[in-house]
């Protein structure tokens, strides 16, 4: 299985499927439509039935059950994050990792900086050459699902109900299930395979919102600007300073939420800020949204109405609200991971998955691990032995 995983994964990551938040198309990039065809071909190759690609780029298929049992789905996303280039990925395969710094064309991977590397001495690691991300988020999940389904199909002694699979576009830009038909998918429950370290299971995630703020200033000659000029870029800085300085990603962890400034652009006449707002606690989440509304209102009181214009909208909610009423879904995954011989790690996701929105669409959908680390950047890497455990976990989930 190890060689099979390496071959399939390193082949699938070479397709550039970066999503585009500025696009008005769905999927946001034509490359994802092409990739959907590639994945449909992979599913056909291993014997999955009822394979379909709908008008929105969703790839679905089914492994027919050979016994009575729940209908269970497995879901991973096709796109990679626009935070880092996914074009021209050149994987490096490090057999029997020696625990030392990995030298690459791009920035090195050091166990002093990324302490998780120390867990994998003697294991097989895969990373990019450092000039791109790796694409394990979430092509590792896709690879593991395909490998697990192929194994199940080739081993009819494994008894299971119907197994459904779905590969989705545009998860990284928050649109992954905008057009997904959960009823048509037809599962009792499902699991996204989109997590990190081996053993990880997550059924809690952030409540999430996005804020976009446009600021209009007043540009006059700087030599005669006193009492007249309103510098939109400085107003943007002032607005940002009104938010809590310690509630940012680099200063929070665990169940702490944050404001994350993802984009800042501007000149004297106009400026623009983009934020993502996150919190596990619904009350604190609403307080954060109120805080950014108040900051905009204060700017308008000081500089005039419509100096700052806010667009604020919710993206997804904490799926714990749904999963807590379906404890057997979580318990099944815990038992499945225990059967592989590793310790289940039930941890909150400091982010979101397609499963968060799917859970509120009537499809309970916790998240399980892929074995990857440092997603969304050139420091991303994955342990192949952890990928094997993910495949085992998927097999165990359907066969328990």
- Tell me how far the alpha carbon of residue 372 is from its chain's centroid: 12
pLDDT tens profile 6-36:
999 999 999 999 999 999 999 999 999 999 9
C-alpha dihedral (340, 345, 346, 347), degrees to nearest 10: -140
pLDDT tens profile 93-122:
999 999 999 999 999 999 999 999 999 999
In this prediction, residue 174 carries a pLDDT of: 86
Q: Strand ranges (DSSP E) for the chain?
A: 49-53, 59-63, 72-77, 91-94, 125-128, 163-168, 189-193, 200-202, 207-216, 258-266, 270-279, 308-316, 345-346, 367-368, 372-373, 381-383
How confident is the model over 385-396, as a mean pLDDT?
Answer: 98
pLDDT tens profile 293-308:
999 999 999 999 999 9
Instruction: Give the closest residue to 313 by CA, choosing from 205, 178, 208, 206.
Output: 208
Give, in order, the Cα–Cα distances in Å from 45 to each of 39, 150, 158. 10, 9, 20
In this prediction, residue 80 carries a pLDDT of: 97
pLDDT tens profile 135-170:
999 999 999 999 999 999 999 999 999 999 999 999
pLDDT tens profile 42-90:
999 999 999 999 999 999 999 999 999 999 999 999 999 999 999 999 9
The span from the CA of 214 to the CA of 19, in Å, is 24
Segment 255-263 long-range contacts (CB within 8 Å, at least 24 positions apart): 255/280, 255/281, 255/348, 257/206, 257/281, 257/284, 257/285, 257/288, 259/288, 259/292
The span from the CA of 25 to the CA of 30, in Å, is 9
Residues 6+ apart with CB under 8 A from 157: none
The span from the CA of 369 to the CA of 365, in Å, is 13
pLDDT at 353 over 90: no
Instruction: Give the closest residue to 271 by CA, choosing from 225, 301, 238, 243.
Output: 238
Taking the CA atoms of 365, 359, 136 and 373 in sequence, report the sign of the dihedral they define.
negative
In this prediction, residue 212 carries a pLDDT of: 97
Instruction: Give the closest residue to 205 by CA, choosing from 381, 348, 385.
Output: 348
**Residue 355 token pair:** 């499963």
pLDDT tens profile 217-228:
999 999 999 999
pLDDT at 352 over 90: no
Residues 6+ apart with CB under 8 A from 168: 57, 58, 75, 76, 77, 78, 176, 177, 180, 354
Taking the CA atoms of 309, 315, 318 and 321 in sequence, report the sign of the dihedral they define.
positive
In this prediction, residue 349 carries a pLDDT of: 87
Burial of 37 (0-12, 13-18, 19+ CB in 10 A): exposed
How confident is the model over 308-316, as a mean pLDDT?
Answer: 95
Identify whether the C-beta of residue 84 lies closer than 8 Å to the C-beta of residue 116: no
In this prediction, residue 351 carries a pLDDT of: 81
In this prediction, residue 215 carries a pLDDT of: 98
Architecture of domain 207-316: 2-Layer Sandwich (3.30)
Catalytic positions are 79, 171
Q: 2-205+318-399: what CATH class?
A: alpha beta
pTM score, whole prediction = 0.88
In this prediction, residue 237 carries a pLDDT of: 97
What are the boundaries of each domain within the chain? 2-205+318-399, 207-316
pLDDT tens profile 226-276:
999 999 999 999 999 999 999 999 999 999 999 999 999 999 999 999 999
3-state secondary structure of 128: strand
The span from the CA of 6 to the CA of 314, in Å, is 38
């Amino acid at each position: 299985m190890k060689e099979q995983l390496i071959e399939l994964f390193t082949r699938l990551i070479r397709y550039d499927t970066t999503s585009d938040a500025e696009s008005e198309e769905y999927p946001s990039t034509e490359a994802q439509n092409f990739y959907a065809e590639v994945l449909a071909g992979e599913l056909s190759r291993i014997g999955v039935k009822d394979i379909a690609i709908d008008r929105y780029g969703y790839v679905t298929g089914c492994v027919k059950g050979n016994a009575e049992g729940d209908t269970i789905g497995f879901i991973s996303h096709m796109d990679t994050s626009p935070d880092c280039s996914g074009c021209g990925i050149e994987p490096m395969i490090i057999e029997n990792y020696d625990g030392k710094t990995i030298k690459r064309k791009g920035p090195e991977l050091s166990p002093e900086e990324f302490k998780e590397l120390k867990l994998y001495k003697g294991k097989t690691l895969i990373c990019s050459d450092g000039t791109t991300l790796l694409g394990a988020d979430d092509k590792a999940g896709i690879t593991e699902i395909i490998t697990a389904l192929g194994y199940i199909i080739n081993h009819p002694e494994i008894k299971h109900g119907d197994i459904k699979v779905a590969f989705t576009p545009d998860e990284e830009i928050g649109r992954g299930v905008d057009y997904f038909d959960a009823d048509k998918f037809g599962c009792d429950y499902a699991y996204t395979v989109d997590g990190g370290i081996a053993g990880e299971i997550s059924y809690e995630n952030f409540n999430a919102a996005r804020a976009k703020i446009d600021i209009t200033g007043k540009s006059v000659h700087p030599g005669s600007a006193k009492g007249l000029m309103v510098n939109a870029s400085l107003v943007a800085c002032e607005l940002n300073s009104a938010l809590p300085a310690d509630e940012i990603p680099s200063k929070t962890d665990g169940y702490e939420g944050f404001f994350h400034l993802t984009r800042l652009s501007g000149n004297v006449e106009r400026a623009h800020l983009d934020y993502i707002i996150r919190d596990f606690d619904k009350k604190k989440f609403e307080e954060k949204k109120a805080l950014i509304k108040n900051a905009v209102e204060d700017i308008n009181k000081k500089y005039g109405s419509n100096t700052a214009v806010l667009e604020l909208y919710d993206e997804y909610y904490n799926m714990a609200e749904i999963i807590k009423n379906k404890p057997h879904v979580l318990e099944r995954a815990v038992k499945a991971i225990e059967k592989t011989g590793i310790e289940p790690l039930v941890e909150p996701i400091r982010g979101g998955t397609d499963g968060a929105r799917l859970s509120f669409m009537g499809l309970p959908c916790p998240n399980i691990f892929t074995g990857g680390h440092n997603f969304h950047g050139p420091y991303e890497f994955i342990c192949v032995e952890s990928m094997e455990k993910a495949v085992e976990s998927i097999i165990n989930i359907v066969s328990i």
